[in-house]
Amino acid sequence: MGVLVTVITLVVVVPVLLMVRRVLGGLSRQQAETRRLLAVGVPAPAQVLGTQMGGMTVTTGVHRHLQLVLQLQVQPYGRPPYAAQLTTLVSELQVPQLQPGATVQVRIDPADPAKLALEGVGTGAMPGPAASPPSPYGAAPPMQQYGAPRMQYGAGPAAAPGMIPVQPATMPAGAKVGMVLGIVGALVGVGVSIWVSTMQVETSPTMPGASPPAAASHQASELCQQAVRCCSTVAGGSATHCEGLGAAGVTDDACRSALDGFARAAEASGKHCE
């Protein structure tokens, strides 16, 4: 029974722990990638073409961050516009500012323009696709090629006018530890409940018509075997007709009555049953 309880508990616990590891690991990787793009990415304006809700919600303190899937038209400075998709966590207070037609500020990975990070939100005017930031010498800055080292000419404004910075969702280490401990505690409770339930089933009285527990079956077998031995003693060593008492289905009461009769018969003949 202990093996059964262990197997049931593992079947319940292991998938949940794997799911928690997958969620927390994916969130940590997404946060690290966002921080990297905000640090090294090339800023560019973009227009929201469509918005869809994702399947994740992260609560940090009193704030909730919702996962959004944004369809964007990115207009990098000095480059042709292109369509891209960005999945990110955004504060629920900034979700209304990310409706179709809104202008946002993104950071583009210099090595892969499909990788974006949301830097700011707003509803300001969308610059033209060929617009370039003003050069202090009156000439257009050189065009940066994707995949090349980032040029230090200021590939765009650090924050576009009217843009509100987006605060990336971060889960403190204490919150992660608390979440894991809470889940482990819940799973331990589930395991204890399963164990208690199986113990109650194991120790419950036998219902009418049900098979007796293993311990009771062993006790009945010993009693019937004693009756068989006493019968053999009375019969002078021939136990052929006595073996029926040890057959399956013979009750303890029947064996006890037979044993009492054989014991009296053995005593009357000067013999003794073990």
Residues 6+ apart with CB under 8 A from 244: 250
Q: Is the model more confident about 62 or about 109?
A: 109
Q: Which residues pair with 112 in a beta bridge?
A: 109
Neighbouring-strand partners of residue 72:
48, 84
Question: 243: helix, coil or strand?
Answer: helix
Q: Name the more confident of 37 and 21.
A: 37
Q: What are φ and ψ of residue 59, in 5° steps?
A: -105, 120
- Pairwise CA distance, residues 263 & 267, whole Å: 6
Task: Identify the pLDDT of residue 2.
Answer: 52
DSSP 186-235: HHHHHHHHHHHHHHHHHHSPPPTTSPPPHHHHHHHHHHHHHHHHHHHHHT
The CA distances from residue 227 to 212, 242, 258, 259, in Å, are 20, 8, 6, 5
User: What span, in angstroms and rounded, lies between the C-alpha atoms of 2 and 66?
Assistant: 43
If one compares 24 and 108, the residue with the highest pLDDT of the two is 108
Rg (CA), the chain: 40
Q: Which two tokens stand for residue 235?
A: 């019969």
Angle ∠(100,101,103) on CA atoms, nearest 5: 110
Look up tokens 């992660």; give the residue.
Answer: 176
- Strands (E) located in the chain: 42-60, 63-74, 82-91, 103-109, 112-122, 164-165
| Mean pLDDT (whole number) for 257-273 | 75
103, with CB counted inside 10 A (0-12, 13-18, 19+), is buried
Is a pLDDT exceeding 90 seen at residue 251? no
pLDDT averaged over every residue in the chain: 69
Tens digits of residue pLDDT in 166-191: 766 655 565 556 666 666 666 666 55
In order of 2, 41, 123, 193, the CA distances from 202 in angstroms are: 11, 64, 68, 14
**Do 225 and 274 touch, CB atoms closer than 8 A?**
no
Reported as a single tens digit per residue, the pLDDT across 51-106 is 988 877 777 666 788 888 999 999 998 889 999 999 888 888 888 888 899 999 99
Which one has a higher pLDDT value, 66 or 201?
Answer: 66
* DSSP string computed for 180-199: HHHHHHHHHHHHHHHHHHHH
Amino acid at position 55, single letter: G
Domain ranges, ordered by start, for the chain: 2-127+154-174, 214-268
